[in-house]
Amino acid sequence: MEQLVEGRSLDFNICIIWQNQSADDLVEKSTSHDKLFSAIEERTNYGDAKLVELWSILKTLSAEERQEKVRWHRKCYQNTTHSGVLKRARERFDREVEGPDESRRKSSEALQVNTFLSSFE
């Protein structure tokens, strides 16, 4: 069963995250839907391009449709919701928003100059 939203499609017969066939079993009746959707939304907010399209479709579904249609591989779920992955995504996003770290570059440049000058001593 494929869902078409604004020209994008999502196949609900396979893992919602990976969107590929696999011999691994799918989790069908999980109580973890909310955690998964929250993690997908959060990573989308941090600019995770792989999940933007998925979230644009999932957010249009009602809670009942999500419970009924959405299935995933256990490993895909773990990789999406892992707190370390979310933390790294947030840190990467924060670095991009803040721009280059001039203080780090300046200290590195000063170290290079000091090293150069000390070579003449």
Where do the structural domains in the chain lie, given as residue ranges? 2-118
SS3 of 87, please? helix
Q: What's the pLDDT at 83?
A: 94
pLDDT in tens, 9-46: 788 889 999 888 888 889 877 788 899 999 999 999 99
Cβ atoms of 86 and 39 within 8 Å: the answer is yes
Q: Is the pLDDT of residue 4 over 70?
A: no
- Cα separation, 6 vs 99, in Å, equals 33
Q: Which residues contact 110 (CB under 8 A, 6 or more apart)?
A: none
Q: Is 92 helix (H, G, I), strand (E, B) or coil?
A: helix
Residue in the block written with tokens 């009924």: 68
Condensed to tens digits (0 to 9), the pLDDT of residues 43-67 reads: 999 988 889 989 998 999 898 888 8
Q: What pTM, to 2 d.p., does this model score?
A: 0.71
